[in-house]
Chain A
Amino acid sequence: MNRLEVRHLSTSFATDEGRVDAVADVSFAIRAGQTTAIVGESGSGKSVTSLTLMRLLPRTAATRVSGEAWFFDRAGERLDLLALPESRMRALRGNQVAMIFQEPMTSLNPVFSVGEQIAESLRLHKGLDRAAARAEALRMLELVEMPAAAQRLDEYPHQLSGGMRQRVMIALAMACDPTLLIADEPTTALDVTIQAQILKLMRKLQAETGMSILFVTHNLGVVAHHADDVVVMYAGRVVESAPVRPLFAAPAHPYTQSLLACLPSKARVPGQPRPARLFAIRGQVASPLAPPPGCAFEPRCDRAIAACRETIPQLLVTEEARQARCIRVAAALTEAA
């Protein structure tokens, strides 16, 4: 059973130089109780995808969104997040669909104690009174393993470390027991030990509550350990999607292959004392204002051929639950057929 089905999602912004497609024709699904990771480098459209799903894009950017995002709520009702009236969307946000942001340092309001901020969500969605919301906020802080939770309740964000703030953000997101958690690079701003703790905490919470997670990240190591399904994005499009094990075992798209080759563990050659130089993908993401006519990855691809420059390849099903967008994949499929 799926928790969320995104179909043909496109988001574009108006800029002075013309309309820019930040996300183009993205489709994926998140299974109930599972984690889907969206992977990609800066500018690949992964954050815009998550903000579009939450309907949190700034209205001022003359945003144009198309497609469907079917969310299956607690009652089993099927709702299109992109077409829901704002008032119903607001009732979902923080309640059934929650979000954690990348920057724990700035995503808490500096003038309210952390207890008040967690309580606000509870009072808003669950209609709890002040005392009950406070008690529940304390329970949430304990749930996210906040040290000295009772004391932290009345502290202000500036009194907490980055890791503790992210715990507060998670407590805030988990307060109303959401069925879908969108985590936009939740560990990027934290140091590595804290990252590991936060990720472990998120897994624990997922196991306890059975929520689904949409995990937006550029960290492949995190994806390997914590995701069930992976969607690789490049320049606003899905270039490959697959369950995590097959993807790491046999990446189909040259971009995914290059990304995996960038991992430090690949640079270590057995028998040699020092690892070889790290692999890096040459060049940079094409400007969204002037996208290449063909495959967006073609200018950086070592295996590009002339035909790559002609049209954008189709996203094709290669095996069960696997898709890739590459001319070679298309060729291999026709050969096999």
Chain B
Amino acid sequence: MAENMDDMQEIIQDFLVEADELLEELDEDLVRLESESDDEELLNKIFRAFHTIKGSASFLGFEKLTELTHKLEDVLNKLRKFELKLNSEMMDAILAGVDKAKEIIELIKEGGDPESVDIEENVKQLSRFLEEDYKEGQGKEEPQEEELSEEEMVELQKEEMLEEEALLESEEEEKKPKDDIDAEIERLLKQRMEEDKEKRLKRREKILAELQGKGTEGEEKQGEEKKEEPKEEKKEAKKPPIQKKSKPVVEQTIRVDVQRLDDLMNLVGELVLGKNRLVSVAQKAEEKFSGDEVVEELSEVANQITLVTTDLQMGVMKTRMVQIGKVFNKFPRVVRDIARELNKEVELIIEGADTELDKSVVEEINDPLVHIVRNAIDHGIEPPEERVKLGKPRKGKIILSAYHEGNYIIIEAADDGRGMDPEKLKQKALEKGLITETEARQMSKEEAYALIFKPGFSTAEKVTNLSGRGVGMDVVKTNVEKLNGIIEIKSEIGKGTKVILKIPLTLAIIQALLVKVTKEYFAIPLVSVVETVRITKDDIDKVENKDVLRLRENIIPLVYLGDTLGMGKNKRTLDGKEIYVVVVAIAEKKIGLVVDELIGREEIVIKSLGNYLTNIKGISGATIMGDGSVTLILDVANVINEASIISANIEDHLIENYAKDVPVALVASRDITDKNDLIDYLKDKGYKVIYAHTDKEALELACEHIADIVFIDLSIYINDGYNLARSLRSMPAYKTTPLIAVSTDGTYDKEKLKESRFSGILFVPLEKDEVYEAIENASKRNILVA
């Protein structure tokens, strides 16, 4: 029996999913019906939707839901037979009924008592339309309750039962057939059939009784019923194509657990990493043994794997894709409700509803859009009279559109309302104390528009219950930030406002810009990168002692990325003649991040840092590069916020501003006995000696002090001395600095020495004269190079 309960639970689950889908479609269809109230096809579709829900609800014993949908079905039945004419009062009642049905469904989902919902008001409202005296000007008198023809009813029921059976069968296949379940289902189905029959009989009796009481009218009606029969046959003839339309959907799609798709996506992520690695190995092999047959084969394989992986990634991504229509379709209803409440007339135009994006993104995008549209209707669109006075069409227009642009989806919400006045916005923000006078003066138009995203900001003269409380747009900002998206606002006074959201298609695999800061590499999600520019120190301006960059007409705050991450202290890595700036934007904010080096663009798979390192400031996750190293992904929103707090300036990081009185020598070596001799020799020669045990430490120190000469133990931990030399050479301050290798065991790799651009080599034990000679030679050679 317990298993049966489980089965019932599953049937209920399926019912809930189905009901959700139907109700969602209903919203859309009903709003469409308002303008196309004589579309028979549409009326039939809506009728069937109510009928289906009613059927399942009664089967599962949800009495209130059955009663409600039954009433809705009855009203629709009258409408589809054109015995009633749709008016806005009726529409409101139907929509209210749908809302109530949704409420009940939600309650069932949450495990509440679906019978506790009060539907009396709705039923009363709906019943009014079914009353005989409610049909002004429609002439004909119809039966109180027009039943479906018996045939049609049976047809519908059969169809449903078949579906249900199919559903149950498929469940059984999974669970291995069990006779008692079968029996139970059959019993339930039979019971339901009987119940329905009984209900039908009762209703028929009731109608008959009423008809008899009304005498002549009844005769008329009978005549009408006869007349209507052929009509219904026609309808039945029309039915098959509809069935055809709905059946393939059942056969061609399967419902998949989202978790499974997520797992699949993770695996593909691993595969992408593996592919990146394979490609980098193949490249290395090619450099080393170019022309070798096996290497060529390897490259070929790597290329093929790259292609297949890309296709596979696209394929898996596509399975997670849903049309944005899923979100957009709610909006006719939303717009209608808001417009009615505010006594405004608004027409909604939806474009690009078939644009696809990742399921997880779709879930996050709904709320921001609702707020944006609300805001547009409440603050943007003028009341009809005002619009007429202004010479605009009476009906305001809101256009929701979506389209793809590279790896992003662009969602636009445009209205033709009054537009936003930047001066007014600034004034308001000043009054609320959100900004200072100076800030207001320096603000660009775009920055002023962005003020609406500040918590506590509202331009509404009076607070309505829809908007004006100054929380809505804040939600927009938070959600879009969460998705690594960008918000842009365009507005023209008197013409309207356009809010543009640029959001990455997927959250798991992203394009990123790799940059280097001090000795570390970071990945900046490309969606946040606006552009990269190369400047010199003379291009940096100051505003209130903060660095800014004048870029075309914009003034952008400038910060050293290392400072925003708390790792910039004492680091001198910037060459004043060549400063790289990555202009990033999140939501409405824009800022220039100064980095040491731009590495390039790469496709990265986002990985979490795990439970031990949670909520790290400035870091949103990590990724694994082709060479197997870990690179951290910047949390751009966080970095931008941090940037407004820090006080360090760019010039603190310029190499040329490093002051020293004596030459500096950096010794990077394992703990070897000879190191002390070396340090002594160097001190005798007048050097200030700094000492590092590991390559990491050496690089760190190299960023803090600009050494004039570097001694590198070839066997230094963690990576060897060759790698350390290569890393040093890539830093602007060490392009020509003498680097002297120290071999502790007499071994060395000549090729690698050359490749890492060492200036000389010494062997342990170190002799004073040899050391001095090496210094001299290395310095000379560098003069030659220069």
Report if A and B associate in a common complex: no
